[in-house]
Amino acid sequence: MDDKCLDADVIAATFLPDGRVVRPDGVAVTGRAEILAEQNESVDRFRATHHMLTDHIVTRSGDTAQVRANMQAMHLWNDAGNSAELQTHFVAGVLRASAELTPDGWRLSELTMRPTWRTGATTRMFLRAAGLNRDELYVNAGCLRKCAQVAGV
């Protein structure tokens, strides 16, 4: 993903044919073609991204497994131009996945990311689009979901 070389072969080696990705805003994308299109569209918005996964916990039960990991992701927007101020977006949270063992190896049936926090240009953009100020971000538990819906992400 960070190398911007996500293609149908990578998706097929990662997901079941009916695999799902549940985005941080709760919207689910189902099927390999849809996952590929959505992920490439998302990454194309950024000049660069860097995702880090740590503290993996894998619980296997026969031919299925559950995975939990912590994630931090940094994003540099494409439209930042040559501005001296980098337009960045940072997010951290918990990544969860369900996997099944197939004749071709392990494949994900579902991948979910639940943000714990986010900051940067996206937060400010969401707040402005939703007509909220920074103080409301901390007192309104539903703000990020509302902001994401307003921004269409």
What is the model's pLDDT at position 86?
65
Q: Which of 10-14, 46-50, 83-87, 98-102 has the highest mean predicted lDDT (pLDDT)?
A: 98-102
The strand pair at 15-22 and 64-77 is best described as unpaired
State the average pLDDT over residues 54-66: 96
113-148 tens-digit pLDDT: 999 988 876 655 555 555 555 444 443 444 555 555
Q: Where are the domains of the chain?
A: 8-116
Number of CB atoms found within 10 A of residue 78's CB: 12
What is the model's pLDDT at position 24?
82
74-95 tens-digit pLDDT: 888 876 555 555 678 788 999 9
What is the model's pLDDT at position 131?
56
Report the C-alpha gap between 118 and 96 in whole angstroms.
18
What is the model's pLDDT at position 139?
39
State the average pLDDT over residues 87-114: 94
Single out the residue of 9, 18, 44, 4 nearest to residue 98, CA to CA: 18
Bridge partners, residue 28, by sequence: 22
Q: Which of 4-13, 65-74, 112-121 has the highest mean predicted lDDT (pLDDT)?
A: 65-74
What is the model's pLDDT at position 101?
97
> Helix or strand or coil: residue 11?
helix
Tell me the CATH number of domain 8-116, given options 3.50.50.60, 2.40.160.10, 3.10.450.50, 3.40.640.10. Answer: 3.10.450.50
Single out the residue of 106, 39, 115, 6 nearest to residue 70, CA to CA: 115
Report the C-alpha gap between 23 and 39 in whole angstroms.
10
Q: What's the pTM?
A: 0.72
- DSSP letter assigned to residue 103: T
32-52 tens-digit pLDDT: 999 999 888 877 878 888 989
Angle at 82 (CA atoms; ends 81, 86), nearest 5 degrees: 80
Report the C-alpha gap between 117 and 53 in whole angstroms.
15
Rg (alpha carbons) of the chain, rounded to whole number? 17
What is the model's pLDDT at position 132?
55
